[in-house]
Structure 1
């Protein structure tokens, strides 16, 4: 997969791939490794991050949506017109509460009207910790409501951000699916930093920067 550099554009337009998962699953690390070839601190995302992602000469916008945004009514502007969902899971985390939160979030995703009929890539991250893998494909099949995915178009992947193995495969698979058209809309004017936005949650101010390039503003819609 070819991953292009991100660009600073005030009104981003493109097909949206939404990446979700429980806190600590590695969403932000994957986002910036794919789009900027950079490592970022392991800090939970507040709000969301978005970057351009080029997959085999096709350009998409990859959204990393923080796990705290569990009220889908407040983030519908991010989810609408999504053409694929990437659901990230920390396969090395044995915490029962985190496991249940992940299942609950996945259940919300498969019930969300914006995610109906789109490809779903389920990613078992942190495979580098082979001696501590608690969540494998069998656990996913037994505990996650895969049968509720409309159309049944999903695939389970193994990856490791640390070793940079398998991180391209879910996105290559998505790019090869029959993707629905995205209704691209002009982004609303962004509020000033610290003011929040019309959807009721604060803006993230923690987006990493690299080589002078700017990350996409969190409040931009596509």
Structure 2
């Protein structure tokens, strides 16, 4: 069972997240906090595997709370769950120690998947937030490199880089497109896209879309052609 703490200053948001999480067979909410200050007490006290952390809260905000929890040596994987996908906020959150960054308008299934991914040591980041880490949006590699290091099990050293359809899929992942839109863009089925994504991840040595997008940036594969 994956133990989760929900940190948000809005009771309705905390209640909604609790209902969604507790409905899953493998997840349970073991604590809630209405502020960053409360999170500093609750998280060490209950020892969750994952913390869903709001960014904007009165008093101690989520980014500073994340920084302090990280400094305390928490074992919890902290995932920001917020309405803000701007570059500065994403970089600040990852730089503070967050392992993931999800948006509040995401489908509940995406949030649950993100919790499981974080618990497994991966870096669940919404594609809209990931785009801010790419060329023309972020400009600073430091926090992006932190995210990539957490997400990728090993550095990509393949002597056989993606070509053809895999290269096309990689470029569209780098633009933040989900599989459905990639399929539409390339005129292929979503199942075929999934197969290309799996093969692509194995080829370049990454485990999620954010790491693939960052790999594309670092290897100058974000442009068409």
Choose between structure 1 and 2: higher helix proportion: 2
Choose between structure 1 and 2: higher strand proportion: 1
The TM-score bracket by the shorter chain reads: 0.3 to 0.5
Normalised TM-score (structure 1): 0.32
Normalised TM-score (structure 2): 0.32
Larger RCO of the pair (alpha carbons < 8 Å, separation 6+): 1
